[in-house]
Structure 1
Amino acid sequence: MSVQLHAQEAKAWARIGDRSRVEVALDRGRRLLEDLPHPTDPAHHFVVDPSKFDYYAMDIYRRVGDDARADGLAEEVLSKVVDWRGRILAPMRAAEAHVTKGVVAARVGDLDAAVHHGHQALDGDRKSLPSLVMVGQELAEVLTDRYGGESDTQEYVDELRTLASST
């Protein structure tokens, strides 16, 4: 449980924009996690295993603009949430990884990839629409700031609004 608290602390510092405190909180969480035995039920909501910690770190690095780390962790998250048949095992983690990849793509100038990942995030099954809408808004803001006049941007924003109105 304390590992998750350090991850939440890092998220709070990321929202404030304090990069040095983000790193301290993430480091504390990682060190605690390394000392714990591998969980017997990693699917349990209150259990934090290395892949869940990567998921938290991905979100945090996206928020602070560390695109290389965020993108690498998004790849890692996606590789762990899809089974050998291509079935998504953790829809919310997959959706947030796609938002992360979309934000990174938008920041480097790849509108097509950004919108593609954004649509992938919004499609499919998930359990927490309010959470997805909140994260999806991060991509909408980047797209609007950088590509506000593009029809692809408007399509994504409209899809996000439709999803938000259904919650």
Structure 2
Amino acid sequence: MIARLAPQLAEVVPARRRLLGPDEEPAVRARLGEHGEARITLGVVAAGQGDLEQAVTYGEWALKGDRQSLPPLLMVSREPAAIVNRDFADEATGREYLDHLTTLGRAG
């Protein structure tokens, strides 16, 4: 079901970004950080459809949010990490994403 809704879900975050303004504004950046879990969900959908580049883009975008939200986002990131590890561990982009999650987990 989520795969059928992915195109509509994928438009929600960009539409909100356009409404709130550029990411460089601290207040906007904090509000967008609240949507990290939604971005990770979109990454899971993309990975499940075999689109590694889009999955990693959503995952990295989610992790750029407010650092206070990082621990819960890392926990939610386990699902896309498992998919990337299972399906894309042999690809450089997949390894880089997994390495980034590992580094963030150690720093947090």
Query: Could you tell me how far 1:159 is from its partner in structure 2?
Result: 0.7
Task: Give the TM-score of the pair, scaled to structure 2.
Answer: 0.76
Unmatched 5+ stretches in structure 2? none
Aligned to 2:3: 67
Aligned to 2:59: 118
| Paired positions, count | 102
Tell me the alpha carbon deviations over residues 71-122 of structure 1, each in whole angstroms, 9 at most, x when there is no partner.
53353245336613344323031x2222122111111111111112211122
Aligned to 1:84: 21
| Cα distance change on mapping 1:96 and 1:81 into 2, 3 Å | farther
d(CA) in 2 for partners of 1:120 and 1:153?
15
Runs ≥4 residues deviating over 6 A: none
State the secondary structure of the residue aligned to 1:127.
Answer: helix
Unmatched 5+ stretches in structure 1? 1-64
- Structure number with higher helix proportion: 2
State the secondary structure of the residue aligned to 1:128.
Answer: helix
Give the AA of the match of 2:61: Q
Give the AA of the match of 2:53: D
Give the AA of the match of 2:22: R
d(CA) in 1 for partners of 2:67 and 2:12?
19
State the secondary structure of the residue aligned to 1:90.
Answer: helix
Aligned to 1:130: 71
Task: Give the TM-score of the pair, scaled to structure 1.
Answer: 0.52
State the secondary structure of the residue aligned to 1:109.
Answer: coil
Q: RMSD value over aligned CA atoms?
A: 2.2
Q: State the percentage of identical aligned residues.
A: 38
d(CA) in 2 for partners of 1:128 and 1:118?
14
d(CA) in 2 for partners of 1:142 and 1:79?
27
d(CA) in 1 for partners of 2:14 and 2:76?
16
1:154 aligns with 2:95: yes
Query: Could you tell me how far 1:146 is from its partner in structure 2?
Result: 1.3
